[in-house]
Amino acid sequence: MVAKIRIGKIIPLLKKEYPDAKCSLDYDSPFQLIVATILSAQCTDARVNMVTPVLFKKYSTPEKLARAPLKDIEEIIRSTGFYKNKAKSLSEMAKSLVEKHKGQVPKTMDELVHLRGVGRKTANVVLGNAFGINEGVVVDTHVGRLSRRMGFTKEHDPVKVEQDLMKLVPQKLWALFSHFLVFHGRKWCSARKPLCEGCPIAPYCPRIGV
C-alpha cells in the first residue's frame, strides 16, 4: 500500500486515539511559547514546564526579558541544559522582538527564523500552535523516528523529513499531525520496545526497523 493511501488510513485512527493531542509545552501567549520552545532543545517538555513558571513570573514580557541580566536568566533555566547558550538566545530574541517587532512575536517563517535561537522547527511550533498557521510540520525526534518506522520517509535530516511529510499530510493537519506522532511515540511506539500488538495503526504500518 503506497504511503499516501496508508497515511489517509492512519490519520483518522490517530485522531480517534488522541482526541486531545496538543503541544506539550505550557504557555499563555506566543511570547511564552517561543521562550518555552527555545528551552525545549535537548530537554524534555516536562522539565521546561517546571522552569517556565518562574521565568514568566519574573520576566513576563519581551521588554522585561530583554533587560534581564544574563546571570539571572541562566540561574532560572540552568536545569534545562546548555543554559548559557539558551540564556543568550532568550535575551537576544527578546531584544529583537522589542527593537524590530514592537514587542510582538512575528507571524511569518522568515521573520521568526531571523530571531536568535529560532530555527525552522521552533518557528513551526510557534506558527502552528500560537497562530494556527500551518507553514510546515514540526519534526522532533519522535516525529522523525515514527515517520521512518511507518515508511513515510527514509531521511534523517529533519528538513528533508518535513518535506516528505508535507507531501503526504493535508496542510490543514500539519501542526496536529506532529502532535499525533509525539503522543503515539510515547504511548505505543517507543524507540526500543514498540507495542505493535494492540497498536491501533498496526494494520497500516510496515514497522520498518522493528
Give the residue numbers marked as catalytic. Answer: 121, 140
Grid cell of 14 as nine digits: 490517530
Largest CA distance in the chain: 56
